[in-house]
């Protein structure tokens, strides 16, 4: 899924603790710009993933502005479902990329975000009956809680993600809906629930 990082200028949108920034540098990237809104996350990133060539910056993704063709690879891991306009983001990313550059990102899967509650349906015995899908074509805000905090996410259909990329000029190179490996299923039996519904969507697109 990931391209060759050797000599590449990389931007990581929503870098969190900086693990992907580290990965890029360790795989030969020339420079990595890690952007996140969370001061806490960036402080931790500076502690555990501070390497030469990585620059962390606290910014909202919506306010970013770079010259055209500034980056060869733009990454974003589980961040863009917090952004209201994927179209604006995709347009900007296309501009910031060099020709032949890659935009590789993961988001929560539309099947995971559609209904909004982000929990299974349970039967009387407390067993998981199925994963609920609802309001699939009603895009927009979903208010949910994560570790006791209120969180706003944006649901988009699969069509929105893919056609927004195509419309903005990207070529779709690969799509992955990650599922647990046989080894993982053997070691962590609870993982078998992850075969029941897709939770994430990974897309690789080329300018």
Q: Which residues of the shown chain bind a second copy in the complex (CB under 8 A)?
A: 111, 114-115, 121, 129-138, 157-159, 162-163, 166, 171-177, 179, 194-198
CB of 177 to a second copy, least distance (A): 5
Of 174 and 186, nearer to a second copy (C-beta) is: 174
How far apart CA 81 and CA 110 sit, in angstroms, is 10
The CA-based dihedral angle spanning residues 182, 22, 76, 148, taken in that order and rounded to the nearest 10 degrees: 80
The residues, ordered by sequence, that sit 6+ positions from 149 with a Cβ below 8 Å of its Cβ are none
The residues, ordered by sequence, that sit 6+ positions from 61 with a Cβ below 8 Å of its Cβ are 13, 14, 35, 37, 79, 83, 89
CB of 107 to a second copy, least distance (A): 13
State the CB neighbour count (10 A cutoff) for residue 138. Answer: 12
Region of 11 (left: φ > 0; alpha: ψ -120 to 50; beta: rest) is beta
Of 44 and 173, nearer to a second copy (C-beta) is: 173
CB of 196 to a second copy, least distance (A): 5
Burial 62-79 (b: 16+ CB within 10 A, else e): eebeeeeeebbbbbbbeb
CB of 55 to a second copy, least distance (A): 34
Of 59 and 128, nearer to a second copy (C-beta) is: 128
Of 53 and 132, nearer to a second copy (C-beta) is: 132
CB of 72 to a second copy, least distance (A): 22
Of 55 and 184, nearer to a second copy (C-beta) is: 184
CB of 163 to a second copy, least distance (A): 6
Residues in the chain: 207
State the CB neighbour count (10 A cutoff) for residue 34. Answer: 29
Of 51 and 166, nearer to a second copy (C-beta) is: 166
């Amino acid at each position: 899924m990931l391209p060759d990082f050797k000599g590449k200028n990389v931007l990581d949108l929503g870098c969190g603790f900086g693990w992907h920034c580290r990965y890029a540098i360790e795989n030969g990237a020339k420079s990595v710009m890690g952007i996140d809104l969370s001061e806490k996350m960036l402080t931790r990133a500076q502690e555990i993933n501070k390497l030469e060539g990585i620059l962390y910056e606290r910014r909202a993704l919506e306010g970013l502005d770079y010259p055209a063709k500034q980056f060869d690879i733009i990454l974003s891991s589980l961040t863009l479902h917090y952004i209201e306009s994927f179209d604006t983001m995709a347009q900007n990313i296309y501009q910031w990329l060099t020709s032949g550059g890659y935009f590789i990102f993961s988001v929560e899967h539309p099947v995971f975000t559609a209904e909004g509650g982000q929990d299974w349906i349970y039967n009387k015995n407390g067993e998981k009956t199925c994963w609920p899908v609802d309001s699939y074509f009603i895009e927009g805000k979903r208010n949910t809680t994560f570790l006791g905090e209120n969180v706003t996410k944006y649901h988009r259909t699969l069509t929105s993600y893919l056609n927004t990329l195509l419309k903005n000029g990207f070529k779709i190179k690969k799509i992955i809906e990650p599922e647990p490996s046989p080894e993982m299923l053997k070691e962590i039996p609870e993982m078998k629930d992850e075969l029941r519904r897709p939770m994430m969507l990974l897309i690789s697109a080329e300018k």
